[in-house]
């Protein structure tokens, strides 16, 4: 599938993976709708072909409104990329007591339920478009993490939410096959996002040294490159792709 003359939704589009993806899709000719929380959009860069839309992925009403905005133009919605998420750290049990149950629920609500909400409402809109070659109408790409497979100490909430995204991938692809909508997931390793910029250079160097090759953090533009590859590869469906430099996470 080509990216020119189509509309695309990218969640978490104001920074990090989402911002890089929005730029990459726009550069290929897509009309991009970058969704994020209103406060995050205040500092979002101006990018040709990218329109910012305030939306909370945990709100069905706000996601529906954003999808309606993305389908109101002159080109069909064919791509949805889920990048929105949070990654707080807390142990199941520590000297401070048991894991905050509200925090656990919030992580799952944003990372998993939010992903499903955007996937489902985006698929509903894509399914209404005219089919292309082989009956294809579009593709949805979700973001998991290698923590879904090797969650570390303090990642119980994050790892289980991302494990849910991995588990969602194949049944969603099977459910949406009759509508010509593909579903794939990217599971990144350590990515050089704004969150990582807050840690010390020594800590960053230690993390990078654990990656077999290349021995560095993944760049957000490399994630975006994989997104565009998945969009263009019409036979890739129901897959979770690790993008981690062969990293396998240790317990801590």
- The pLDDT of residue 193 is 83
- The pLDDT of residue 198 is 67
Rounded to two decimals, the pTM is 0.95
* Any domain includes 117: yes
Tokens of 146: 């290698």
- Using the Cα atoms of residue 69, residue 12, residue 156 and residue 142 in order, give the sign of their dihedral: positive
- Which domain covers residue 130, as residue numbers? 7-192+220-241
* Any domain includes 138: yes
* Total structural domains within the chain: 1
Q: What is the pLDDT of residues 126-166, one digit of tens each?
A: 999 999 999 999 999 999 999 999 999 999 999 999 999 99
- The pLDDT of residue 199 is 67
CATH of the domain at 80: 3.40.50.720
- The pLDDT of residue 142 is 98
Q: What is the pLDDT of residues 80-127, one digit of tens each?
A: 999 999 999 999 999 999 999 999 999 999 999 999 999 999 999 999
Displacement of CA 32 from its chain's centroid (Å): 15
10 Å Cβ neighbour count for 128? Answer: 12
Active site residues: 158
pLDDT mean over 6-22: 97
Rounded Cα distance, 189 and 192, in Å: 10
Give residues with Cβ within 8 angstroms of 105, minimum separation 6.
none
Dmax (CA) for the chain in angstroms is: 58
* Any domain includes 50: yes
Q: What is the pLDDT of residues 205-227, one digit of tens each?
A: 888 899 999 999 999 999 999 99
């Amino acid at each position: 599938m080509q990216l020119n003359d189509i509309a695309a939704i990218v969640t978490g589009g104001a920074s990090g993976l989402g911002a890089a993806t929005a730029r990459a899709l726009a550069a290929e000719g897509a009309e991009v709708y970058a969704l994020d929380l209103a406060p995050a959009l205040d500092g979002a860069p101006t990018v040709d072909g990218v329109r910012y839309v305030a939306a909370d992925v945990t709100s069905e009403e706000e996601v529906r409104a954003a999808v309606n905005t993305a389908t109101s133009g002159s080109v069909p919605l064919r791509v949805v990329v889920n990048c929105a998420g949070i990654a707080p750290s807390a142990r199941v049990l520590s000297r401070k007591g048991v894991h905050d149950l509200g925090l656990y629920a919030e992580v799952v609500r944003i990372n998993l339920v939010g992903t499903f909400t955007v996937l489902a409402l985006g698929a509903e809109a894509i399914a209404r478009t005219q089919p292309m070659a082989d009956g294809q109408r579009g593709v949805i790409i979700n973001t998991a993490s290698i923590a879904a497979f090797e969650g570390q100490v303090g990642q119980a909430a994050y790892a289980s939410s991302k494990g849910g995204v991995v588990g969602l991938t194949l049944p969603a692809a099977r459910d949406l096959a009759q509508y010509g909508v593909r579903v794939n997931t990217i599971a990144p390793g350590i990515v050089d996002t704004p969150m990582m910029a807050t840690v010390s250079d020594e800590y960053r160097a230690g993390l990078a040294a654990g990656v077999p090759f290349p021995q560095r953090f993944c760049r957000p533009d490399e994630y975006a490159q994989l997104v565009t590859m998945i969009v263009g590869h019409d036979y890739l469906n129901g897959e979770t792709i690790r993008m981690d430099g062969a990293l396998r996470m240790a317990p801590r």
